[in-house]
Amino acid sequence: MVSTTDATPEQVRAALAELADPARAAASARFFKTGPGEYGEGDAFLGVTVPQVRSVAKRFAGLPLDGVRRLLSSAVHEVRLCALVILVGRFDRASRRRARDDAERARLASFYLDAVRRGRVDNWDLVDASADRILGAWLLDPVAAPGAPAMHDLDELVASPDLWQRRVGIMATFAFLKAGDGAPTLRLAPRLLSDPHDLVHTATGWMLRELGARVDRGELEAFLEANAARMPRTMLSYATEHLPAEERARYRAMR
């Protein structure tokens, strides 16, 4: 790990650039739909694998927040991912300390929400690697802190015209599901039934599936009874994935 005083965003970028693979970069650009009019339009890739990104993030775990902010402004996908992995690690360390650092947790949660609103967390893998680990984890166990994220911020995110903010809003509820609490997912999911984007359908269906698997299958079934007829096909498919085949067929027939 590079110390807090030594780490710089330029070092992080250089470390990632050393691992660049042009062939993998081209494949990633296709996989993450970067063509004109696609959800990842204009995103740039180095061709660095996720394990490699995580290894670099571990080396530069002491990067100051201003450096993380500068990395998040990069046009390069893996650079932004590395910044988020550093941020998640920092939040985890603040949460695990014997004397938990709630001031640091509040600061990091606020920093993350600001980055989301500024459009820095702007692809599905970036969202999924960070939303529940920072924003969700904070909201699950918050402390009084001026300006820190609150539950109403999830409502604002799922109502946003921005695809990625909506995905962050529903994915943040994963932290609650892991803790056995399905209420935030059940509160937000109905608002996304008419969402226009498949990437929100997949995330919402995923969280509903986890509701049934981790919290209470009866709560999932009650939601499906009330909403299956108007759920997008992909959302319903994800939500019913762990149910018996005959139940899946019955709910899908309701559409």
pLDDT at 3: 46
Per-residue pLDDT of the chain (255 residues; tens, 9 = 90+): 444 557 899 999 999 999 999 999 999 999 999 999 999 999 999 999 999 999 999 999 999 999 999 999 999 999 999 999 999 999 999 998 778 999 999 999 999 999 999 999 999 999 999 999 999 999 999 999 999 999 999 999 999 999 999 999 999 999 999 999 999 999 999 999 999 999 999 999 999 999 999 999 999 999 999 999 999 999 999 999 999 999 999 999 999
CA nearest neighbour of 146 among 102, 98, 87 = 102
3-state helix, strand, coil in the chain (%, to 5): 65, 0, 35
Dihedral angle at the C-alpha atoms of 179, 156, 221, 251, nearest 10 degrees?
-140
Largest CA distance in the chain: 60
215 vs 106: CA distance, rounded Å: 27
pLDDT at 98: 77
Query: What pTM does this model have?
Result: 0.96
pLDDT at 7: 87
pLDDT at 59: 97
